[in-house]
Amino acid sequence: MSSEKNPLSPRIDKNGNLDILIAAAECFMEQGYHAASIDDVARRLGSTKGRIYHYYRSKTELFFDVHREGMRRNFEAVTPVMKGPEPAAQRLSAMFRRHALSMMENLALEAVVVQGVEMHRFSATTPEQRRTLAELMTVRNDFESLFKRVAYEGVEDGTIRTSDVSVAVKVALGAINWLSIWYRPRPSETRDDREILADKIVESIMQGLNAPG
Amino acid sequence: MSSEKNPLSPRIDKNGNLDILIAAAECFMEQGYHAASIDDVARRLGSTKGRIYHYYRSKTELFFDVHREGMRRNFEAVTPVMKGPEPAAQRLSAMFRRHALSMMENLALEAVVVQGVEMHRFSATTPEQRRTLAELMTVRNDFESLFKRVAYEGVEDGTIRTSDVSVAVKVALGAINWLSIWYRPRPSETRDDREILADKIVESIMQGLNAPG
């Protein structure tokens, strides 16, 4: 992935801990952050708690790294299509489409990203936790900025129309992020099914609901 | 409000417990459900815990009633503009606009509604709690159905264009519900400011981002 716009920690996967992050994300998604324990994560992994504590001192640290990996995949999905000779509306559509697919295909990780945003407001965190959350929020704002930048390019090249780029991008990202609340894959679902859903979401965002004329 | 479409418990406010619900919603929003205690709610109210326990046996019951009141206000906001002689696209826009304003003006209650949806998936609840959550999810689906009904009317009267009404409505409601994550009123904010923001959100949903032509 492009490292230019991504200030995230590079330690993910170097230590072979990606399966820990996925198992933890699934536990956090299904049980909620507060109810899930390191024991639950170990059980899901079929490993010992010791293996998890080798990488993470606490559940909070684990949660933050899941959040980082979810955001890393968000950046990885959209940055390759940001730039190019196409009109900005076309590039922005491709970014939304890839973000929607990434939400569906990394559902547990991305549900934790949404939980992380919620947690940002909670007071029951230590100063160190608050610093980490602030860092994660900065990354989140950087992600939103990628979309705003291309939307502004679209206002300039005449392919995007909006009275407020910032609100329009928040509306579009909210629509996509809301997938973490309602989307659950059907057992027989294929990549094609997900692409059809992503196309419908992008259609709604780009065309709106009003019939033309 | 129209009672026809609203299966919610009518006990709210009859017992003078609305201020308890508002205080609880603010605590849940700021601290999160798990970190907030009945003590925190009592402190915010300037009352005793006994007053809260007079109405609610547990924090969970209180949380559920906050959720009910948030959903009641959602219905109350949109049902008056659902029907009428106007084209369906115009009525649907009015429903989105009122829902967005209701999200902003009942921010704490509506943030709890969003937390409630998240909680629905958590396993650490009793059978009774699961029944209540299932009931709340039904109410939520009923709310979504109001929008779908008017969107279908718009496909019929030719004022709405979409390849999938269900996805389009989820996209629009997600965009609005996402306000609970990012919207915080500025100290000097007026009703006019909120109406301008609501108009921009509705513009994005109804017109989309693509420039015409």
Q: In chain A, where are the structural domains located?
A: 58-207
Distance from CA of A47 to the nearest CA of B (A): 22
- The domain B59-207 is placed in CATH, from the list 3.30.70.990, 1.20.1250.20, 3.20.20.70, 1.10.357.10, at 1.10.357.10
Separation between Cα atoms, residue B13 and residue B67, nearest integer Å: 14
Identify the three-state secondary structure at position A210: strand
Cross-chain Cβ contact B167/A200 below 8 Å: yes
Collect all residues of chain A within an 8 Å Cβ-Cβ radius of residue B34.
34
Cα A74 from chain centre: 5
Q: How confident is the model at residue B91 (pLDDT cuts 50, 70, 90)?
A: very high
The residue among B14 and A113 whose pLDDT is bigger is A113
The residue among A92 and A58 whose pLDDT is bigger is A92
Query: Measured between CB atoms, which of B89, B163, B176 is closest to A210?
Result: B89
Distance from CA of B14 to the nearest CA of A (A): 31
Closest residue by Cα to residue B182 from B169, B170, B197: B197
Of A120-129, A166-175, B7-16, B158-167, the poorest mean pLDDT is in B7-16
Cβ-based neighbours of A139, under 8 Å, separated by 6 or more = A6, A7, A8, A68, A71
Question: Are the CB atoms for A173 and A71 separated by under 8 Å?
Answer: no
Cross-chain Cβ contact A178/B179 below 8 Å: no
Closest residue by Cα to residue A176 from A110, A90, A109, A88: A110
**Which range has the top average pLDDT, A6-20, A82-96, A121-135, B132-146?**
A82-96
> What is chain B's length?
213
Q: How confident is the model at residue B15 (pLDDT cuts 50, 70, 90)?
A: low
Which pLDDT tens digit goes with each residue over A41-72? Answer: 999 999 999 999 999 998 888 988 999 999 99
Collect all residues of chain B within an 8 Å Cβ-Cβ radius of residue A122.
30-32, 35
Closest residue by Cα to residue A210 from B76, B154, B68: B154
The neighbour count for residue A207, using CB atoms within 10 Å, is 18
- φ/ψ of residue B210, rounded to 5: -65, 130
Percent of chain A with pLDDT over 70: 88
Which pLDDT tens digit goes with each residue over B100-132? Answer: 999 999 999 998 888 776 666 565 467 887 788
SS3 sequence of B132-181: HHHHHHHHHHHHHHHHHHHHHHHHHHCCECCCCHHHHHHHHHHHHHCHHH
Say what the pLDDT of residue B119 is.
64
Q: How many CB pairs under 8 A join A and B?
A: 168
Distances (CA, A) of A196 to A3, A92, A100, B160: 30, 18, 11, 20
Question: Are the CB atoms for A42 and A52 separated by under 8 Å?
Answer: yes
Distance from CA of B202 to the nearest CA of A (A): 9
Using the predicted structure, report yes or no on whether residue A132 has a pLDDT greater than 70. yes
Which pLDDT tens digit goes with each residue over A5-49? Answer: 444 543 445 456 899 999 999 998 888 787 789 999 999 999 999
Cross-chain Cβ contact A208/B206 below 8 Å: yes
Question: Are the CB atoms for B88 and B153 separated by under 8 Å?
Answer: yes
Cross-chain Cβ contact A164/B124 below 8 Å: no
Using the predicted structure, report yes or no on whether residue B182 has a pLDDT greater than 80. yes
Cβ-based neighbours of B156, under 8 Å, separated by 6 or more = B88
The residue among B158 and A36 whose pLDDT is bigger is B158
ipTM confidence: 0.88
Give the torsion sign (CA, B121, B125, B127, B128): negative
Cross-chain Cβ contact A31/B122 below 8 Å: yes
Q: How confident is the model at residue B73 (pLDDT cuts 50, 70, 90)?
A: very high
**Number of helices followed by number of strands (H, E) in chain B:** 10, 0
Cross-chain Cβ contact B35/A92 below 8 Å: no
The neighbour count for residue B16, using CB atoms within 10 Å, is 8
Closest residue by Cα to residue B108 from B172, B34, B32: B32
Collect all residues of chain A within an 8 Å Cβ-Cβ radius of residue B164.
200
Domain A58-207, what fold? Answer: Tetracycline Repressor; domain 2 (1.10.357)
Say what the pLDDT of residue B121 is.
59
Strand partners, A210: B160
Closest residue by Cα to residue B97 from B116, B80, B115: B80
Closest residue by Cα to residue B41 from A193, B51, B172, B10: B51
